[in-house]
Amino acid sequence: MKNGICPMCQSNEVYMTDNDDNLGEDGLLIFYGEVGREMGSYSSNLYVCLTCGYMALFASPIVLKGKHKELTFLKEAKGWKKVM
C-alpha cells in the first residue's frame, strides 16, 4: 500500500490520510499502557484502495520520555500478543 499499489487488486487508486487535514497534527494516535502508569502512543496513517476497499493502517512510534524508539516495545507491552 505504501508504494501506491493495492496488494489485493493491484490498483493504483490508493489514498492515504493527510495528518494535517483530517486526523489532527499527529495523525491517528493509538495509546498503550495502564491507567495510572506511564502511557505511550504511536501514530498511524490509514491507506484505502478506492477500487476494492482494502484498508491498511501503518504505525510509527512516538518517542515518549526517550523510550520506545521502535515498535518492538509491543513485544513486552501488556495487552499485546503475537499472531500465530
How many domains in the chain?
A: 1
Task: For residue 58, give its domain range.
Answer: 14-75
Q: Is residue 57, in this structure, part of any structural domain at all?
A: yes
Residue type, 32: Y
Nearest CA-CA partner of 61 in 77, 49, 47, 48: 77
At 81, list the grid cell. 500478543
Q: Is residue 31, in this structure, part of any structural domain at all?
A: yes
At 83, list the grid cell. 499472531
Q: Is residue 81, in this structure, part of any structural domain at all?
A: no
Q: Is residue 3, in this structure, part of any structural domain at all?
A: no
pTM score of the predicted model: 0.62
Spatial separation of the C-alpha atoms in residues 19 and 41, rounded to whole Å: 16
Contacting residues for 82 by C-beta, under 8 A, at least 6 apart: 75
- pLDDT tens sequence across 26-66: 555 555 565 555 556 667 788 999 999 999 988 776 655 55
